[in-house]
Structure 1
Amino acid sequence: MVSSGDVQRLFLQSVISRRVLSVDLAKALWKQSVEAVKAADDTIQINANTNSADGWSDFLATLNKSLDPLDLELSRTRDEITGKDIYALVNRRDDEIARIASDYSPLEISYFRALVEQIMLAPNYSYSISSLAALREVNALTSPMTKTQAESVLASFVAKGWLLKSKYGRFSLSSRSLLELQPYLKSTYPDEILECTICFEILTLGHACPKANCGVGMHNACYDTYRRSVGGKCPKCSEDWGRAGNDKVVPIGEAAAPKDEWPRRTRRSLTESEDGRERRRCAHGRPGRVFSNASTS
């Protein structure tokens, strides 16, 4: 028998099949769920204005209240690569790393934990590790795992949205991991966590002020917005960041990885601007992890 509660059920089925989705897609799926239930029984009263922001907010609040006993939540965050807001169905249980237990064995979870540690401790705030380094982590596991098995598990971590793999073969944490594992990351790696000066979300991909120990960092999208609206000076120390296209800022994320971690062909293909940022980073004492979290006040 069809009921108004089927709107939540249909919506959740769509979300679970995707796990991470854009804001526009989430709202479109909600609207489709409402229309599907009404089509099944046009006598059902559904108090949902699918063309209203308040209607979406009310539905989201009701949905998360229903999910609360299951320790689940549909949460909103910003994708570091695209700069767009996204929704993700996340587990809010206290044992953060164990949240992937439904998908993986204890050995595979231990492997994931080891990968997270190496990503968070990567030098220069690069927040990424090479494929070789990722495979090397199997040597630290309490039980043996072959290279073939590790490659298969790594591919699964990427396919299920726990890790990202770049075109250069480097692994980093996905938006899903950053959102779902946020309490774990902040409590386990307090000295490694950076927050964007603009949006205050965790920062693992973007730009940092070139001045040593300034502490200002921004996501790529936040940085572009800031430059367009305010200009090319640091909001904290007023350091001149140069002209757009010839920025003096230093990278956060994969581009900040030490050059000896890159394949020879990739190193040769680096642009002059990237090489320039590398020299400036070293000149400002950035071969190690030196700049601290700081507010703009």
Structure 2
Amino acid sequence: MSEAGDIPPHYDDGNRAFLQSFLARGTMRFEDGQKVLAAIFTVQEGKETEPKDVTQADFDSYISAAADAISPYDYEIRSTQHQITKERIYALVNSVSDPLTQLATTRTPDEISYIKRLLDAMFETYNTKRREVMAVSSMQAMETKVRKGGNRQSEGGEPTQATQSSDRGLTQSEAEKLLSNLVKETWFERSAEGYYTLSPRALLELRSWLVEAYNDSDEPESWQRIKFCEACKEIVTIGQRCMDRECNVRLHNICTAAFWNSRPGKQCPKCKSAWTGKAYVGEKAITSTEEYLRGKRRSGGKRKNDAVEEDEDEEMGEEVENNSRRKGRRRLVQEESSQEAEDTPVEDDGEGEGEAQEDDEDE
């Protein structure tokens, strides 16, 4: 891969095979690495090596060599802990180009537009002071306003003709197929309750972009949409929040034990509010509510989402002013990653479009 002078002396065909496997996967866990290296060692040594015989030191050595090999090409290997399983996830990350620009090489313009609207839904529509869900349900991902977008607004409030004509949106079947592929490619994860969230790989890739696109840099002390764990300093999309809605302190569930063990009491380190562990970030902000549980018991699916949407309608009024400040900044961020400017406003997420209308548009 590199020029002869850049290749480490110990870098051999085994290292190349490991890197090729990593490139094909996009992400790798230690367990995955054990299987890959066991196959490599079996070929190199002429006798079978079991995955359990591959040590963490072996894996770390090959990760380090792979990182050195890809560094001249503006790639690096980063790692983070999975917010639920606590497994360490390693991912290949482009350290120069915007991640949405990278996706544009394998996706159509309409698919990229849908992904951006999906991110807006995750980090604006369903990420409010009242409920930081940072996820969308399968039903919400298929809503007409997400799949097709509707009229976009310019900074002055007028619909932009260019975006109306160039973005036809996706049919329901196209959106379902794209989401399935994004899960397979480890960009998104889908929970047992049917909620889509960004994967560890996506959070590593999109970290800077998310902050620039959705946070208000002019008021850093105010409530922000993208927040970081007080313990590990990584983005929190699943975890716990301070009881004070204006406070930005968050913790991953997997970080709470070590964090509180080093402190005399469970008080928010910033605002000193009591930390109950009952204020949630992620889909649990929805699935733990009485509205959701009552709706699920009564009829499932549709009714439980109606309860969520009614709650979000109340919150939208509080967020209009913040959204208007962010739109101009997010437009600049998205123009840099695509020739087509994406300035999607936060729409009312209350009633949505009727199912009959969606069927007509899909046909």
TM-score by length of 1: 0.73
Query: Which of 247, 268, 271 in structure 2 is aligned with 1:234?
Result: 268
Inter-CA distance 120–52: structure 2 relative to 1 (3 Å threshold): closer
Aligned equivalent of 1:183: 208
- Is the Cα–Cα contact under 8 Å of residues 97 and 184 in structure 1 kept in the other structure? no
Amino acid at match of 1:232: K
Distance 1:266 1:110 in 2: 32
Superposition pairs of residues 88-107 of structure 1, within 5 angstroms: 88-107=91-110
Distance 2:60 2:191 in 1: 35
Distance 2:316 2:104 in 1: 37
Instruction: For residue 76 of structure 1, give the secondary structure of its aligned residue in structure 2.
Output: strand
- Is the Cα–Cα contact under 8 Å of residues 203 and 219 in structure 1 kept in the other structure? yes
Instruction: For residue 168 of structure 1, give the secondary structure of its aligned residue in structure 2.
Output: coil
- Is the Cα–Cα contact under 8 Å of residues 83 and 221 in structure 1 kept in the other structure? yes
Shift of 1:114: 1.4
TM-score by length of 2: 0.61
Unpaired stretches in structure 1, ≥5 consecutive residues: 41-49, 271-277, 290-297
Distance 2:182 2:317 in 1: 29
Aligned equivalent of 1:160: 185
Superposition pairs of residues 1-297 of structure 1, within 5 angstroms: 4-26=11-33, 29-30=36-37, 32-34=39-41, 36-39=43-46, 53=57, 59-121=62-124, 122=126, 123=128, 124-135=131-142, 136=144, 137-140=146-149, 142-190=167-215, 191-228=224-261, 230=263, 231-242=265-276, 247=277, 249-257=278-286, 265-266=295-296
Inter-CA distance 166–287: structure 2 relative to 1 (3 Å threshold): farther
Shift of 1:72: 2.7
- Is the Cα–Cα contact under 8 Å of residues 128 and 257 in structure 1 kept in the other structure? no
Shift of 1:140: 1.1
Inter-CA distance 85–148: structure 2 relative to 1 (3 Å threshold): same
Amino acid at match of 2:117: A
Shift of 1:144: 3.9
RMSD: 3.6
Query: Paired residues, what number?
Result: 261
Amino acid at match of 2:76: E
- Is the Cα–Cα contact under 8 Å of residues 64 and 74 in structure 1 kept in the other structure? yes
Shift of 1:20: 2.2
Inter-CA distance 20–36: structure 2 relative to 1 (3 Å threshold): same
- Is the Cα–Cα contact under 8 Å of residues 111 and 138 in structure 1 kept in the other structure? yes
- Is the Cα–Cα contact under 8 Å of residues 30 and 59 in structure 2 kept in the other structure? no
Shift of 1:73: 2.3
- Is the Cα–Cα contact under 8 Å of residues 228 and 235 in structure 2 kept in the other structure? yes
Distance 2:63 2:132 in 1: 35
Unpaired stretches in structure 2, ≥5 consecutive residues: 1-9, 48-53, 151-166, 216-223, 301-307, 320-363
Distance 1:199 1:143 in 2: 41
Q: What is the CA deviation profile of residues 243-290 of structure 1, one whole-angstrom value per residue up to 9, with x for unaligned ones? A: xxxx4x4101112249699596437699xxxxxxx9xxx9xx99967x
- Is the Cα–Cα contact under 8 Å of residues 196 and 219 in structure 1 kept in the other structure? yes
Amino acid at match of 1:254: E
